[in-house]
Chain A
């Protein structure tokens, strides 16, 4: 079995990285499951939460809770300030030009649906095309299918290669006269492939086509700079970046957000309402109807502080070390095939074990205390491309250790023994 070549994504960690100190920040990691120390390798599904995030949410509900943008009382003013401060934090984290370009949503899925149902509904005419890729998560496929049904537009997909990279020549061919939007994943949740999004965005912009980037996996693992990428929309989820569930982000170029109609109607998204008609609040409030997930946004703010304190370059360098080690060690096991061997990868190792269904692999590993994901990873077209019903996926975060990869490898040897 050959192992995947992985190019150096980040320079080696300059000082010895103290992973134990990071682990101490995450209360959940200290526990035992099935009598064994927990080895949490399901970070692409959701990351664990550091104490600062848990404390921020608890503190909010214990002493700061109030509704925002509508009260004149002390608590409401303070909650409003805290909520809006996180918007500025997110804008800086993604390097948006302004906090006005940051819309809070429930998550990546909602961010993409928002763009489909506002921008997409306004722009698409029958016969127009939306271009996605063959390695998208269902959340970057189904909203476009729904949109195409509603508008008579056509959904096209860039195929992927045997190593799990995008077919870039096909991208150029498929980017046509009728393409009105490109939506593509930055870092694949099923394969770990890092797509050359900046280059593809530039090619789309030559034709005047805006691009949405699904950044659910990239936001916590790669440094994201929306101005440098020059993307028009960027979607990510709080819970995959050490924050709470139920909060996500849509970055949108301000000029586009301004032109888009509102999505949901309700409180907080209006300028004025009469029984006959209403006018809309300026962006981003126009897209945030109703009481938002205030505590979760506060928690996301704490998560971004935590990410910044560790530093994305440090995180990326350590995760790269973990991925290189896991790729080598898992890749050399007999009867095991890696799925997704792109040159540029991060944080995800997908594989299948000959003759053993991924769910059985998952159950044996679980018995060793190892949490991995077995399944189609909400990316069934990717599974179809590789001719497998499902894969085993180990996905890493900055708190994982090289010793945990030992435990994974031992568990995989046991899989072969049980089903040999």
Chain B
């Protein structure tokens, strides 16, 4: 596994210019995530309309993997139902832990760039922090989530 497979260009680019990187005034769901191992912290905001994620955004500090993951996540979940977003998280988690059925990988779209993470077990938490936080936001607004 080479470093280039972990830090793919898409990841480096989203780290430099994260999408949906702002607070959301009219959000109706929000949660904070924290990874005590490296001190990463982020906030995820979601606006739902009839169970469909109309908008998602985030802000925070973290490594390239966690920032790019949050950026790509906010883009990927827009327009999906809450349930679809959770299913996507399930597939994403299997991807970064190396347990994804190859047939499923095509359904991940751009998120597939995180496949290299499975070779770096300590970075799985970085990649999944934003997703855990999104889930917490959808489950209970204002809840703080930790990956520990």
Contact = CB atoms under 8 A, between A and B. Distances in A.
Interface residues of B, number: 19
Nearest to A376: B39
B65 A375 contact: no
A360 B39 contact: no
B12 interface: yes
A418 B12 contact: yes
Given A359-B126, A419-B12, A374 B64 contact: no
B108 interface: no
B65 A389 contact: no
A418 B2 CA distance: 13
Interface in A360-392: 360, 363-364, 367, 374-376, 380, 383, 389-390
A222 B123 CA distance: 35
Contacts of B37: 375
A193 B60 CA distance: 30
A367 B3 contact: yes
A149 to B, nearest CB: 21
Interface residues of A, number: 17
A389 B3 CA distance: 24
B3 A375 contact: no
B121 to A, nearest CB: 12
B3 A364 contact: yes
Nearest to B62: A357
A360 B41 CA distance: 16
Interface in B49-71: 61-65
Contact of A357 (B12, B64, B120): B64
A418 B38 contact: no
A418 to B, nearest CB: 6
B134 interface: no
Most A Cβ at <10 Å: residue of B38, B40, B41, B62: B38
A358 interface: yes
Contacts of A419: 7, 12, 15, 64
B3 A418 contact: yes
A79 B37 CA distance: 40
B63 A418 contact: no
A359 B3 contact: no
Contacts of A375: 37-39
B73 interface: no
Interface string B1-12: 011001100001
Contacts of A356: 64
B12 A390 contact: no
Contacts of B40: 389
Contact of B63 (A360, A367, A380, A383): A360
B14 to A, nearest CB: 12
A418 B7 CA distance: 8
Nearest to A357: B63
Interface in B12-68: 12, 15, 37-41, 61-65
Contacts of B7: 360, 418-419
Contacts of A380: 39
A374 B123 contact: no
Interface string A342-360: 0000000000000011111
B38 A360 contact: no
Contacts of B62: 357
Given A363-B6, A363-B120, A418-B12, A358 B64 contact: no
Contacts of A359: 38, 63, 65, 123, 126
A390 B64 contact: no
Nearest to B60: A389
A358 B38 contact: yes
Contacts of A357: 38, 61-64
B3 A363 contact: yes
A360 B126 CA distance: 11
Nearest to B36: A376
A352 to B, nearest CB: 12
Interface string A94-135: 000000000000000000000000000000000000000000
Nearest to B41: A389
A376 B40 CA distance: 11
7 contacts: A359-B63, A367-B2, A375-B38, A380-B39, A389-B61, A390-B39, A418-B12
Interface of B: 2-3, 6-7, 12, 15, 37-41, 61-65, 120, 123, 126
Given A360-B7, A375-B37, 12 more contacts: A359-B65, A363-B6, A363-B123, A364-B3, A367-B3, A375-B38, A380-B39, A383-B39, A389-B38, A390-B39, A418-B3, A419-B15
